[in-house]
Amino acid sequence: MLSREEYIRKSFNNHLFWLRIMKEHAIFIQSAIPPSQRQLAQEAERFKLQFEHLLASAIIQSSGWVSPEVLLANELFTRYTDEAERITQQYTGIQINRNLTNLEADIEPWTAYSNATGRKEQEVSALNRNVLSQLEAFSHFKNSLWNSQVSCRIMTMLYTAVLQHVLHEAEEYIKTVTYLQNRQDPGGDTLENRNFWNNQMSEHAKAVRGLLDPSEAEMFVMADRYGKMFDSLIQDPARDPLEPAIELSEFKETVTRGRIECKIQGIILPLFIDHLLREANHYIRLLQS
């Protein structure tokens, strides 16, 4: 059973990471919708705005309540995020609230002197309920999109496997917030979490492999190697995945920097690869917790 202080702190730790992930999922979906499916793009835009609003609320409410290790893990934003947002907005025409990245840099960390009042607990509980409501709607949207593409009723510029991947992440977030609302610890480095994140890391590497320019053979081989590495960890989850996760994070950082500097080509949005980098950093922090 979580204490009031743990409930508040762990809620903010998760929301600041996951809300940004969800709003970026909406951006990636919107950017991949063809003109013939404009209504779906408009729906993705609405989800983006809703998650930006929730993230802004979480940032404002969380100062003084976020674990220092979360703020230091480069999982909420990286040194590339702001520029990746700027370039992605330029490429896609999708408006991105870049001020949220600047606001996150000013969040004060939790200390033992933070006062876990009943009012603060109610505030967090209300935020959690609002997040769950939007997540359930977003999961339904993602599932419908995936079903439509897998049955060839529509085609987007996202792999069907990527649509399923982002659906699984929304479901993981729902599970996490549900645990929190029941005052249960969503867990750090558990076997269940390892299974989930090892699978996500494998799929990240394979997605990057498929988005590189055909001329970038060396990067293709590296991405393929990481995909196979995490496939082997899925088969043997008792093995320590920390070192492979660190290696994959370093690879993703190389691709992020290279994409921003136009040294890596392919059809990878800069924000997409920065997004994958933050997820690897999140997993590393969980493994070290």
pLDDT of residue 99: 97
pLDDT of residue 143: 98
Please indicate, yes or no, if residue 214 is contained in any of the structural domains.
no
**Distance (Å, whole) CA 79 – CA 101:** 10
pLDDT of residue 43: 98
pLDDT tens digits, 155-174: 999 999 999 999 999 999 99
Q: Which domain holds residue 132?
A: 1-66+107-181
Q: What is the mean pLDDT of residues 101-119?
A: 94
**Distance (Å, whole) CA 30 – CA 92:** 9
Rounded-to-5 percentages of helix, strand, coil across the chain: 75, 0, 25
Please indicate, yes or no, if residue 73 is contained in any of the structural domains.
no
pLDDT tens digits, 29-71: 999 999 999 999 999 999 999 999 999 999 999 999 999 999 9
Kindly report the CATH number assigned to the domain that includes residue 61. 1.20.1260.120
Residue carrying structure tokens 């109610």: 122
pLDDT of residue 289: 87
Q: pTM (2 decimals)?
A: 0.97
Tokens read off for 146: 């995936």
Please indicate, yes or no, if residue 212 is contained in any of the structural domains.
no
Please indicate, yes or no, if residue 153 is contained in any of the structural domains.
yes
pLDDT of residue 189: 76
Please indicate, yes or no, if residue 79 is contained in any of the structural domains.
no
pLDDT tens digits, 221-278: 999 999 999 999 999 988 999 999 999 999 999 999 999 999 999 999 999 999 999 9
Mean pLDDT of the chain: 97
Residue 74 backbone dihedrals phi, psi, to 5 degrees: 60, 35
| Residue type for position 240 | D
Beta bridge partners of 109: 66
Band of pLDDT at residue 112, cut at 50, 70 and 90: confident
- Domain total of the chain: 1
**Distance (Å, whole) CA 203 – CA 164:** 10
Band of pLDDT at residue 113, cut at 50, 70 and 90: confident
Band of pLDDT at residue 190, cut at 50, 70 and 90: confident
Please indicate, yes or no, if residue 280 is contained in any of the structural domains.
no
Please indicate, yes or no, if residue 247 is contained in any of the structural domains.
no
Band of pLDDT at residue 127, cut at 50, 70 and 90: very high
Has residue 74 got a pLDDT over 80? yes
Residue carrying structure tokens 């479901």: 171
Band of pLDDT at residue 23, cut at 50, 70 and 90: very high
Please indicate, yes or no, if residue 100 is contained in any of the structural domains.
no
How many CB atoms are located within 10 Å of the residue 157 CB?
12
